[in-house]
Amino acid sequence: MRKWIFALGIIALYNACKFNSTTKTLPIYGNRQAVTKIVNGQSVTDTVYQTIPPFKLINQYGDSISDKDLNGKIYVADFFFTSCPSICPGMQRNMLKVYDAYKNTPDVKILSYTIDPKYDSVKVLKAYADKLGVTGNTWWFIQGKKDDTYRLAEKSYLVAVSRDTTVPGGYVHQGYFVLVDKQKRVRGSYDGTNTEQVSQLIDDIKILKAEAPALSGQ
């Protein structure tokens, strides 16, 4: 897990340092491999990037949500639990800024994965969303099997989460907002407790929306 924490620290540092950057593209994070194939009789090598794998979960409305519902969407993911007494309230206040910026944008979504599905039932998630003033289908609060969620967090979104009965709330998790493009590739990670980085995230979503087709398919 330490290597993921280190990797995300590097990503967050990159994002923190690029606020004044004039770049118009975002990096692609995660594992990658070169794949060679024959096209028109010639050998062509493409780079295949790590993507978020298939999943199936339940949102605050009791609807089944899968990776297929995010086809052709840009989305922001984070990990939380409704009874969190530490960083979650600040994270969700900051995520509301992302929600307010894109709640009327059909190709942008927000996914908040609970890491405490035993307590965070559909009813609890709906009450939590209502308290935040979240309506519609832009921002989904989702729950599923704990092991599956933890695997997604650590292996795909590169966010460390764990059960720890010695800390307030009983869980430990990193407060990153992870930006995923329309090809389900991780394109950025931002400290969800840092307002400047959240503002950068809002701007970076605009970059992905304007991304040229040639780049999005690289």
Domains of the chain and CATH, by start = 52-210 (3.40.30.10)
Q: What are phi and psi of 172, to 5 degrees?
A: -120, 135
The confidence score (pLDDT) of residue 212 equals 56
Q: Kindly state the helix (H) or strand (E) to which residue 75 belongs, with its residue range.
A: strand 74-80
In this predicted model, what pLDDT tens digit does every residue of 184-209 receive, in sequence order? 999 999 999 999 999 999 999 999 99
In this predicted model, what pLDDT tens digit does every residue of 89-108 receive, in sequence order? 999 999 999 999 999 999 99
C-beta separation of 140 from 112 below 8 A:
yes
Give the span between the Cα atoms of 155 and 146, in whole angstroms: 14
Please give the C-alpha separations between residue 210 and each of 26, 49, 106, 181, 204, in angstroms, as whole numbers.
Answer: 11, 20, 15, 11, 10
In this predicted model, what pLDDT tens digit does every residue of 103-136 receive, in sequence order? 999 999 999 999 999 999 999 999 999 999 999 9
The confidence score (pLDDT) of residue 33 equals 67
Rounded to the nearest 10 degrees, what angle do helices 195-209 and 2-17 cross at?
A: 80
C-beta separation of 108 from 102 below 8 A:
yes
Closest alpha carbon to 57 in 135, 106, 122: 122
Q: What is the CA radius of gyration of the chain?
A: 17
